[in-house]
Structure 1
Amino acid sequence: MRKRVAILGSTGSIGTQALEVVEAAPERFDVVALAAGGSDPGLLAAQAIRHEVELVSVAKATAAQDVQLALYAEAKRRGWSEGDHRLPKLLAGPDAATEVARADVDVVLNGMTGAVGLRPTLAALETGTTLALANKESLIVGGDLVTSLAAPGQIVPVDSEHSAIAQALRGERIEDVQRLLVTASGGPFRGRTRDELADVTPEQAMAHPTWDMGPVITINSATLVNKGLEVIEAHLLFGIGFDRIDVVVHPSSVVHSMVEYVDGSTMVQASPPDMRLPIALGLAWPERVPGSARACDWSAPTAWEFFPLDETAFPAVRLARQAGEHGRTAPAVLNAANEVCVDAFVAGELDFLGIVDTVGAVLAEHLDDPDVAHADLTLDLVLEADTRARDRARALVEEAPMRSNTVTAPGGTRA
């Protein structure tokens, strides 16, 4: 029986690759609902018409008319003007993706970016639907709110690292796990000292050596904030203490993560870097989808290199551990401040080192405030902490001097 699928973030990197997986295995999946931000109405309409979905949503209400017109144009281009097919129902507004997450489907793939994915994640779990989770931020920000809602096995990780861990844990006892080893490519600046990162530009930070990802995740990979978030995610997904989750740098990104067991054995999941493999597993779990991605070529000489993480140049993982160990709203503060700082860096308002430095300052202030740092976790407190952290990060960005010699000149050019 084919699985009915809803894809949140359909026009982003995860969403477009998920649709490639579906198109390669049409006998296994039916896409019945799509959600997107609304910045690319033409692509969203083409996806909806191609897959004959029942429901489409956009977060930007102002984009609804553009999407509707694009749907009509795409339908006409495909010969639907004869009335043989029905156009999908269109929802618009900030809660539209949450409504899609409640659709009558077997799997919700949350491929949204950022904390905005929290409400859809909660909605999918409340309905009892399998949640293929690529939106790590919703788990990290929601913490116990998310894990307490999830039935055993209801959340299937789509991040390649956590998909690798889930595969390496199959058939094993969690009490036999010595530690989890989360691999990091090291990003485009592996081997640089902190001083050598001062003049990094957004263009350089976007040039990831092994993965093709969206802009936010790519820059998070350059700062290693993404890896810090993944450490928190691993703790929440698998119930392993932070003292038994390590990060190791593996530049080729062929080994996606490892599980070390108490007898000295280490289980490795390896495949060429291609998100279609963990996406296909997320959609079909516990089954595998043949031909999802190419396998390693074991006939060619291959060398795997691993290096320790330089936490002096890249302190983001340490900050994430601090937030994760504290729990409550601290991970939400970490994530919110980072989202603001990444936007500021891309806009030329903050230098590269300022991203993690500012995040650290916002987190430290939060942890020093007993009224908010030690309160029991509720959705309202998470959202309040998120807003407060964004406001504080913006204020610190405005106050921060640009340490880089690269500045933005009038008209948006670099001087």
Structure 2
Amino acid sequence: MTKKNVVILGSSGYIGNATLDVISHLADRFTVYGLSVHQNITLLSHQVRKFRPKVVAITDPTRASKFTPIHGVKVLKGTEGLIELATLPEVDIVVVAVSGTNGLHPTLHAIKAGKSIRIANKETLVGYGELIMPLVHQHNVSFLPIDSEHTGLYQLLSYKDSLKRLILTASGGIFHNRPIEADISPADVLKHPRWQMGKLITVYSSLMINKGMEVIEAHYLFGVGFDQIDVVIHPEAIIHAMVEFIDNSIIAQLSIPDMRLAIQYALTYPERCTAKVKQLDLTKLTGLHFYPPDDKKFPALRIAYEVGTLKRGYPLVYVVSAEEATKAFLANKLRFTDIPRVITTMVQSYHPPSTINLDTLQEVEHQTRHRTTNVIEDIIASYRD
């Protein structure tokens, strides 16, 4: 079997590290050809020693200048280096695990270069999906999500012609059965009961922002209308996705909550391999529970349906305002309950450009970041009044 060369964009984050763990388990199938980080050159040095990639990219120029190449690794710098890494002719699979919309340009270039894309970068797909998916179809590339819910749906959709609806599950985060209050701290929110994730995604999950993004992702990935995508709260996080067919039968995908399963499925698709993840023992489950999401408690989920339907840059405004508000909360500046307030304000005040293309959407992103910062500063100032 010929090994496939894998590049991991964002190897210092949770998904990046988990992908390396999966590749270690499947070393007879995959080779780590390239890695990228933004600033964490200490971890990158450790990864280079262990996996011996041919090329690395460091997007922060200052940190790049301080990195000492080892084992003959080639070092690329900046966004241009990230794009070069994602399009190297030797590369078969590009795992996009960078944060925010920083994954946009390497993803676009990798698609045009005909690479197989495995995307864990929700913000890029949600914000720019109306440009990305037509490009995927135009270049006929393999494009799979690294996400427990969407990989679950991929496994279930063998009879798409008979599809009635997709059902995404959500653990509900730490607040599914607790009130959401203004004095909640970042430390409170970062105690997710089921999943290990980065800080931004953990906050998103606690407010169902993450699930809202996944609804929009499902629309782009599977080409179904928003009226065919439902969300249910499932606190145990054992069932990751369900599909209901026109005969009202439902099939589900179950596993323990471990992102390495989703990563492995995406890497080995359409094959399956044995995993190092613990087996699910059905006899030890005490119950599986399902509840409808509370729209009043989690308004960001409802807003996601609205912006996804509107398109024309609205999903990008949702993504950017959520990111900026969450960062302000994690910096102990903005109250937890004001994160949805910021998103609502930005979406309601947005006026889409007459033409939607890469240039206009990037301008939307730029202007939204600037305007969101101003809205956040006004809200913070009101705390002192």
TM-score between both structures, scaled by the size of structure 1? 0.88
Decide which of 175, 197, 213 is 1:213's aligned counterpart. Answer: 197
Q: Supply the AA of the counterpart residue of 1:111.
A: A
1:142 deviates by 1.2
Alignment of 1:242-391 (within 5 A): 242-366=226-350, 369=351, 373=352, 375-391=354-370
Distance 1:132 1:293, change over 3 A: same
Alignment of 1:188-199 (within 5 A): 188-193=174-179, 196-199=180-183
Q: Which residue of 2 aligns with 1:160?
A: 148
1:292 deviates by 4.2
Contact in 2 for aligned 1:140/1:233 (Cα 8 Å) = yes
DSSP 3-state at the match of 2:67: helix
Contact in 2 for aligned 1:143/1:327 (Cα 8 Å) = no
Contact in 1 for aligned 2:184/2:335 (Cα 8 Å) = yes
Question: Could you tell me the percent identity over the aligned residues?
Answer: 36
Contact in 1 for aligned 2:184/2:336 (Cα 8 Å) = yes
Contact in 2 for aligned 1:255/1:268 (Cα 8 Å) = yes
DSSP 3-state at the match of 1:308: coil
Distance 1:20 1:388, change over 3 A: same
State the distance in 2 between where 1:312 and 1:61 align: 44
State the distance in 1 between where 2:81 and 2:197 align: 24
State the distance in 1 between where 2:61 and 2:113 align: 25
Distance 1:257 1:402, change over 3 A: farther
Q: Which residue of 2 aligns with 1:49?
A: 49
Q: Supply the AA of the counterpart residue of 1:345.
A: F
1:403 deviates by 8.4
DSSP 3-state at the match of 2:164: strand
Distance 1:51 1:115, change over 3 A: same
Contact in 2 for aligned 1:223/1:316 (Cα 8 Å) = yes
Aligned residues: 380
1:404 deviates by 8.2
Q: Supply the AA of the counterpart residue of 1:168.
A: L
CA-based RMSD of the aligned residues comes to: 1.6
* Structure 2 residue 381 is matched with structure 1 residue 396: no
Q: Which residue of 1 aligns with 2:60?
A: 60
Contact in 2 for aligned 1:351/1:404 (Cα 8 Å) = no
1:249 deviates by 0.3
Contact in 1 for aligned 2:111/2:141 (Cα 8 Å) = no
1:301 deviates by 4.1
CA deviation string 1:350-380 (max 9, x = no partner): 10111111011011100xx2xxx15332111
State the distance in 2 between where 1:131 and 1:299 align: 37
State the distance in 2 between where 1:358 and 1:142 align: 21
Contact in 2 for aligned 1:164/1:269 (Cα 8 Å) = yes
Q: Supply the AA of the counterpart residue of 1:213.
A: M
Decide which of 114, 117, 122 is 2:103's aligned counterpart. Answer: 117
Tell me, which stretches of 5 or more residues in structure 1 are unaligned? 73-85, 406-415
1:66 deviates by 2.5
Contact in 1 for aligned 2:33/2:54 (Cα 8 Å) = yes
Point out the more displaced range, 145-154 or 347-356: 145-154
1:402 deviates by 7.5
DSSP 3-state at the match of 2:83: helix
State the distance in 2 between where 1:376 and 1:294 align: 49
Point out the more displaced range, 93-102 or 106-115: 93-102
CA deviation string 1:238-268 (max 9, x = no partner): 0110011111000111111111111111110
1:156 deviates by 0.9
1:281 deviates by 1.1
Q: Which residue of 1 aligns with 2:121?
A: 135
State the distance in 2 between where 1:249 and 1:387 align: 34
Tell me, which stretches of 5 or more residues in structure 2 are unaligned? none
Q: Supply the AA of the counterpart residue of 1:30.
A: T
Distance 1:402 1:273, change over 3 A: farther
Q: Which residue of 2 aligns with 1:410?
A: none
State the distance in 2 between where 1:175 and 1:375 align: 35
State the distance in 1 between where 2:204 and 2:30 align: 32
